[in-house]
Amino acid sequence: MQLDNSDAGNNRKGNPRLGIGRWQKGQSGNPAGRPKNEPLLSPEIRRQLRDVCPHDLQGRTWLVVLAERLLVLACKGNPAAIKELLERIDGKVTENLQLDLQLNAVKSMTDAELEAIIAASGGE
């Protein structure tokens, strides 16, 4: 692993990070990744959500009990519960800021600049 010493003031010896929060291009912060045989939490939670909740007098599953509790909290005005419900129903809101910035940059280019980009990318 080679370090980019162009920002040596922020780079400790042996650390592939470039400055604060930046990694050398192509360098992973977790090169080994998650261990292959490490059990995942999500499948176990999904399995247990189908089980009957022992604390529920009506014999409902954990999933039903938790969904009802989330709805009650949202109805009481809990912002976190409202956000969770909306994201589960409609999906998480995405930001289009990067796309808007790129679109504005393209709109400000001349025809010659756009043609040069197309030519460089192998387009017609």
81 with 45, same domain?
Answer: yes
Mean pLDDT over each residue of the chain, to the nearest integer: 78
- Other Cβ atoms less than 10 A from the Cβ of 2: the count is 7
Pick the residue with more confidence: 22 or 71? 71
Distance (Å, whole) CA 72 – CA 75: 5
58 with 75, same domain?
Answer: yes
4 with 24, same domain?
Answer: yes
pLDDT value, residue 4: 47
66 with 106, same domain?
Answer: no
Range of the domain at 50: 41-90
Per residue in 112-123, pLDDT (tens digit) is 888 888 888 776
Into how many domains does the chain fold? 3
**pTM recorded for the entire structure:** 0.47
84 with 61, same domain?
Answer: yes
- Other Cβ atoms less than 10 A from the Cβ of 92: the count is 8
Is there a contact between 24 and 31 (Cβ–Cβ < 8 Å)? no
> Is a pLDDT exceeding 80 seen at residue 102?
no
Instruction: Give residue 9's pLDDT band: very low, low, confident or very high (50, 70, 90).
Output: very low
55 with 84, same domain?
Answer: yes
Per residue in 45-77, pLDDT (tens digit) is 999 999 999 999 999 999 999 999 999 999 999
86 with 100, same domain?
Answer: no
C-alpha torsion angle, residues 60, 61, 63, 64 (rounded to 10): -10
45 with 86, same domain?
Answer: yes
